[in-house]
Amino acid sequence: MFAIPYEAPYGVLGMKFRCLSDHDCKAVHKNRYLNPSGNGTRLYNTADLFRNEEFLAIAEGEIDAITSHMAGIPTVGAPGATSWKPEFTRMIRGYKAVYVYADNDDGGTGLEKFAEPLAALIENARVILLPEGHDVNSFVQENGYDALKELIGV
């Protein structure tokens, strides 16, 4: 499995794991991701909250957050709108703009179940709907990092 460290400026707080096999994860072991018990539900890549920028992006999941971060955009990864916690909202105050990515490869659930409910909780939030058929990662693979920055307007 691919190890995903949850790293804060003062160290690693936890680890998640993503299956890299070609099989249908749901059929073999229920989940593509393994979140060891005791790990809790955390915001991913909180180190980007300490950057001196007026804007922030929120992606659904770690892989999209890594891709957006690699594009030079300060980005945290949310565990999913239903497991969002009030303390996450408190960590995301004071930004001029918070871009919430909505995946568009899932028949509308990225927008309706993730981005819109999340944007309603966060001040100065703007939903960024990815083009049809894309999540953040596939969009960058096809169009490059600069295209992602253009999409959100930074």
Write out the residues near Zn ion by the rule CB under 5 A: 19, 21, 25
* Minimum CB distance to Zn ion smaller for 31 or for 89: 31
Sheet-wide strand order for 125-129:
75-78, 55-60, 97-102, 125-129
Q: How far is the CB of 30 from Zn ion (least distance, A)?
A: 9
Residue nearest to Zn ion (CB): 19
* Least Cβ distance, residue 16 to Zn ion (angstroms): 14
* Pick 29 or 96: Cβ nearer Zn ion: 29
Q: Indicate the residue among 30 and 90 with the shorter CB distance to Zn ion.
A: 30
| Minimum gap (Å) between residue 92 Cβ and Zn ion | 32
Q: How far is the CB of 26 from Zn ion (least distance, A)?
A: 8
Scanning the chain, the segments in alpha helix (DSSP H) are 25-29, 62-70, 86-91, 109, 116-119, 136-143, 145-152
Nearer to Zn ion, 24 or 87 (CB): 24
- Which three-class secondary structure state does DSSP give residue 24? coil
CA distances, 104 to each of 6, 27, 30 (Å) = 26, 24, 23
Beta-bridge mates of residue 16: 4
